[in-house]
Each structure stands twice: as structure tokens, then as C-alpha cells.
Amino acid sequence: MILLQWVKYLSPKHTSLILLVMFFLGSAYPTGKLGINASIPPILFGALRMGIVFICLIPFCKIIIPNKKYLLPLLAFSFSMGVGVNLFLYLSINASSIMSPLVIGAQLSIPVAIILSSIFIGENISYRKWILIIFSFFGIVLIGFDPKIADEILGFFLICIMAFFYASSQVFSRYLKELDVKFTNACMGFFAFIILLIASIFFEGNSISHLKNMNLNAWLMALHAGILCSLVGHMSMFYLYKFYSVGQVLPFYALFPVFGMLLSFFIFGEIPTLIMLIGGIIVISSVFLLQKIR
């Protein structure tokens, strides 16, 4: 009901766009599992996703050497968003047999981002935000005690690390606001592709052999992750910021775990437990309200 009331701030065209974007972002988890199941090692999957982002963006970028003050934040953003997020996202998917806890756990990035923004940028955290942050962490802990994910604890832990890197990338991106978004994301894609490919060769063996053995389904899942999840999903959010404030757009991020869990149900037949549903409602509601009052 809260989200339905929030929709009134957006035009019908932009409401349809943001719902599509949230669908793509939520689909990253079950489709990532399909890709890994189709013979792509997890680190190589992340490398392919970032390589696709770079290849798609580079024709639209003006190659420049940014001012020295942007170099360190750009490197940090590329490492956290490109390497950290993709590495731990696909390692967590590979280590898990059920996706719903991962989709919910990824929401931890929002309260962590707010805490990091307070530490490094000096943004104020009101007592209402602290209450919501505590509730969001409580929801994550509650899910962690679900007996159904007792054997999934490694994947759940890895997705929490991914959430930390995603939160860090949001803080570093604040220092890059004056740079072209296509340029920063192309740099991120190139840097992450190289690092993840080296990591794949070192930890996963002969990556060339893995690439040769990839079937059509595996390539389709990699293209889905790179084009629809990364490019269409994230770039559309930047497009919406031209028309609406950050506070009007960010609350809709609470929708992507809903789509992620629905897709996990239709693709894998996952039915969340009562504890998972209660924890998920606590986390998603807390994150929604956190973003609404930022």
C-alpha cells in the first residue's frame, strides 16, 4: 500500500520503467543461478558480465584522463562495484541452493551505505534512521536463524559481504558526480573484467576451456546480466534522476527482492518459510522507509 501511494509521484511512463528496472535487478539472482548451473564458473560469470558492460559502453565514451582528484575514488568505485559486488554475488549464488535469502540479504546494502556515508561524508543519521537500521539488521539475523538455510549459511554470509561492497560503491560514487556516468561505468567494467578474469584463471583453472564449453543458455544468462541487469537496470535509474529527486526514486529499490523471490518461485519452485517471510518483510519495509526519509 505504501508503494502504491508512492507511485503517484511518478508519471505512468516512468512508473512502468521503474517496475521493469526492478524486475531486471531482481532477476539477477535466479538467472545468475541458471548461468552457473549451465557451466559458467562463478568468478568467470562476473568477469563476463563486466566485460559485456565495457564493450557496450566504450563506443559511447569519450576517452579522457580524469583529474587526479578523481583517480582514487574511480579506482575504489571500480573495485567495490565491479570486483567486490560481482565476486561475492556469484560466489554466494554458487554456494546456495535457494535464492530468496540472498535476494533479501542484498538489501543490507542500504543501511550499510547510510552508515558509511555518515562516517566518510558526514551525513547525519537521525534517530528514526537508526531505529530502521536496527530493524533491518534484526530482520537479517532472523533469517539467519531459519532452519531451512542452516546449510546455506556460507552463501548468506557471502551476500552480506557483497552488500558491504555495494554500499561502499555508493559512497565512492558521490565523489564522481562530475564525471560522465558512461565513462565511470566503462572504466569499472574494464578494471573489473581484468581483475576477475585473472582471479578466475588462478582459482577456477583454464578459463579458455570454460568459455569454449559454454552453451547457448550460459551465454544468454551472461548477456542478460551484462545488458539488462547492469546497463538497462542501473543506467535507467540515472535517467530517472533527471526527473525526480533521489528520495522519490530510491524507495522503489524495495521492489527488486519481491521480483527476485517471485522469479525464484517460478523458476526453481522455491517457497519461502514463515521465518523467511517475516524477516523479509521486516528488512524490505525497513529499507523502504530508510530510503524514503533520506
Sign of CA dihedral 284, 287, 292, 293: positive
The residue among 214, 208, 186, 196 whose CA lies nearest residue 64 is 186
The three cell numbers locating residue 1:
500500500
pLDDT for residue 1 is more than 80: no
CB 237 within 8 A of CB 25: no
The rounded distance, in Å, linking the Cα atoms of 58 and 231 is 12
- Once rounded to an integer, what is the mean pLDDT over residues 18-24? 84
- CB count, 10 Å around CB of 65? 7
The rounded distance, in Å, linking the Cα atoms of 32 and 253 is 19
Q: What pLDDT is stored for residue 282 in this prediction?
A: 85
The three-point CA angle 259-262-266 to 5° equals 135
CB 289 within 8 A of CB 135: no
CB 226 within 8 A of CB 29: no
Q: What pLDDT is stored for residue 285 in this prediction?
A: 81
The rounded distance, in Å, linking the Cα atoms of 56 and 135 is 40
Torsion angle defined by CA atoms of residues 138, 144, 146 and 152, in that order, rounded to the nearest 10 degrees: 160
Average pLDDT, whole number, for the chain? 83
- CB count, 10 Å around CB of 98? 21
| Residue at 134: amino acid letter | I
Q: How far is CA 261 from CA 11, 36, 88, 109, 221, in A?
A: 27, 18, 19, 18, 18
Classified as helix, coil or strand, 133 is helix
Q: What pLDDT is stored for residue 235 in this prediction?
A: 74
Extract the runs of DSSP E, i.e. beta strands, from 128-271. Answer: none
Q: What pLDDT is stored for residue 248 in this prediction?
A: 61
Q: What pLDDT is stored for residue 236 in this prediction?
A: 77
- Once rounded to an integer, what is the mean pLDDT over residues 21-49? 91
- Ordered by start, the domain boundaries in the chain are 8-292
The rounded distance, in Å, linking the Cα atoms of 263 and 254 is 15
For 89, list phi and psi in degrees, rounded to 5.
-60, -50
pLDDT tens, position by position, 185-196: 899 999 999 999
34-38, 41-45, 178-182: which is most confident: 41-45
